[in-house]
Amino acid sequence: MNDSTERTLHAIRSSQGLRLLSVIVLVLLLQIPVALISGLVQERQERRQAAVDEVSSKWGKAQSITGPALVLPYTHRTTETVAGGQTVT
């Protein structure tokens, strides 16, 4: 009985298929936390976008960008000739 048990344990330990199966099971088990974290990241991205949209709707109204205006005083004079040959400024 002891000899058959040792042979079975040796076969299990040296089995490439069992090792491959155990690695696949571990990979699948570790995908659970990855899925939970990606769900959390997605939720936070949606919350950030909602906050950006809310702030933009309240503060992001139409804006006008103008540069400095230089105002110079001047006088525009015109001269006209009236019906008596007189010029009027």
Q: Please report the pLDDT score of residue 31 as a whole number.
A: 93
Q: Cβ(87)–Cβ(80) under 8 Å?
A: yes
Q: Please report the pLDDT score of residue 50 as a whole number.
A: 94
Distance, in Å, from the CA atom of 56 to the CA atom of 49, rounded to the nearest integer, reads 10
Q: Please report the pLDDT score of residue 1 as a whole number.
A: 59
| Token output for 76 | 């525009």
SS3 for 63? coil
| Token output for 10 | 């040796």
Q: For residue 73, is it left (φ>0), alpha (ψ between -120 and 50) or beta?
A: beta
Q: Please report the pLDDT score of residue 37 as a whole number.
A: 94
| Token output for 69 | 């205006």
85: DSSP letter: S
SS3 for 80? strand
The per-residue pLDDT string of the chain (89 residues; one tens digit each, 9 = 90 and over) reads 578 888 888 888 888 888 899 999 999 999 999 998 998 999 999 999 999 988 888 877 777 788 888 888 888 888 888 777 778 87
Taking only Cα atoms into account, the Rg of the chain, rounded to an integer number of angstroms, comes to: 43
